Amino acid sequence: MLHRIVGVTVRDVRFPTSSEQHGSDAMHSDPDYSAAYVVIDTDCGLKGFGLTFTLGKGTEIVVCAVEALAALVVGKSLQEIVNDFRGFYRLLTSDSQMRWLGPEKGVIHLATAAVLNAVWDLWAKAVGKVRALIVSCIDFRYITDVLTEEEALDMLEKAQEGKQQREEQMLKQGYPAYTTSCAWIGYSDQQLQQLCTDALKSGWTKFKVKVGADVEDDKRRCRLIRQMIGPNNTLMIDANQRWDVAEAIRWVSNLAEFKPLWIEEPTSPDDILGHAAISKALAPLGIGVATGEQCHNRVMFKQFLQASALQFVQIDSCRLGSVNENLAVLLMAHKFKVPVCPHAGGVGLCELVQHLILFDFICVSASLHNRMCEYVDHLHEHFASPVVIQDAHYMPPKDPGFSCEMLESSVKRHQFPEGEVWKMHK
């Protein structure tokens, strides 16, 4: 079957998370976790579901961008797309007129991710399990100085060894996760303590704390968490781009006593050389730098790796150009021996990224050393196949597809501005 694409619809779906300060951090005080949610219809009735994550206002801009890209997709067959997936990726990202709006960054790239996520979902559902020539999905443009197609093939070939055991290991134990749900910046100390107690009881051992608004607050909150989790559990801190370079080094040095494994997003996501300077300054304190949730494409990740500007690669399933671009980043990270610890949370990011991190372990890195995937315990109830967490591990998804199909009832209720939830909010 060709699965010809006969329609692409996109909806603006928003959850009023800001009302309870879920997701709040030093730069995003009131996010309403949202998505531009894409459904691809085919002539055989099969559907592909995809999304990109947003924070509320402006989601309509991404919706508009998806509608612009849809013109490039409708009429194509799935077969045609996956037979030259690299070409299709290039078609979406390098349209002679639209690339000016990026290229491969911001709204247009978020929209590309949403569309491509839906294509991957469709593909997986059409064939049960995608067995692709991985390199044929990757656009190597602009990264051949670090990774060529031949090198990628070679890396994937080498990782064949032990693949089946790793697959079995994942099916049994799952992929290690850490939690960000305990310590959003808008939570009170009491709330933080309660959530941390609950998380410890549920088996969590790795905890992320939002910092960066006020250093004394940060000290108090980090002390509190460190006391609760003890010296052997893992603490990470996340400033969400709050600082300039020198400020980042000073501020994090002030928090070094709490032994964070990493400082996440210390400064502008564009500042490769700034992150390199911060990495260098913090290395003697045993603190690594993590970034990536707003790293907009493979060219940026390439440079972060070249410049030793990060020690943890935080890929995002909706900021990069879907699986295609994430594959390139996973392979480059492996080449530089830097662990990948994906960004998740938001709306559907956990559902999407679990596929990528399982692929990384089973088919690329073959290592769990210093690796873990973010987990946030919100909004999973809106998905048809929500992630399954057992003992602080992501258990491999069982249903075919890319796991980001939302319940139609949830979509309807949360559509902005006409859904029931937003009518009540007015």
Catalytic residues: 210, 343
User: Which residues have a Cβ under 8 Å from the Cβ of 132 and sit 6 or more positions away?
Assistant: 82, 85
Site string for a second copy, 104-123 (x = CB under 8 A): xxxxxxx-------------
Q: Answer positive or negative: Cα dihedral of 201, 205, 210, 214.
A: positive
* CA–CA–CA angle 20, 23, 26 (5° rounding): 110
The residue among 103 and 397 lying less far from a second copy, judged by its C-beta, is 103
Residue 144 binds a second copy, judged by CB under 8 A: yes
User: Which residues have a Cβ under 8 Å from the Cβ of 341 and sit 6 or more positions away?
Assistant: 290, 312, 313, 314, 370, 371, 372, 373, 374
Q: Rule CB under 8 A: choose which of 5, 15, 22, 31 binds a second copy.
A: 31
Closest distance of CB 296 from a second copy, Å: 7
Q: Which of 210, 245, 209 is CA-nearest to residue 228? A: 209
Closest distance of CB 97 from a second copy, Å: 4
Residue 239 binds a second copy, judged by CB under 8 A: no
Q: Which stretch binds a second copy (CB under 8 A): 124-132, 215-223, 239-247, 362-370?
A: 239-247
Closest distance of CB 139 from a second copy, Å: 11
Residue 263 binds a second copy, judged by CB under 8 A: no
Residue 61 binds a second copy, judged by CB under 8 A: yes
User: 106-127 and 85-93 are packed helices; what angle lies between their axes, rounded to 10 degrees?
Assistant: 160
Residue 241 binds a second copy, judged by CB under 8 A: yes
Residue 245 binds a second copy, judged by CB under 8 A: yes
Residue 27 binds a second copy, judged by CB under 8 A: yes
Residue 103 binds a second copy, judged by CB under 8 A: yes
Question: Counting Cβ atoms within 10 Å, is residue 210 exposed (0-12), middle (13-18) or buried (19+)?
Answer: buried
Q: Which stretch binds a second copy (CB under 8 A): 102-110, 321-329, 396-404, 418-426?
A: 102-110
* CA–CA–CA angle 20, 26, 29 (5° rounding): 35
Determine which helix (DSSP H) or strand (DSSP E) holds 28, and give its type and residue range.
none
* Residues in a beta bridge with 263: 237, 289
Residue 280 binds a second copy, judged by CB under 8 A: no
Cα(first)–Cα(last) distance of the chain, in Å? 47
Which residues here bind a second copy, judged by CB under 8 A? 27-32, 54-58, 60-62, 64-65, 68, 94-110, 141-145, 241, 244-247, 267-274, 277, 294, 296-297, 299-300, 302-303, 306-307
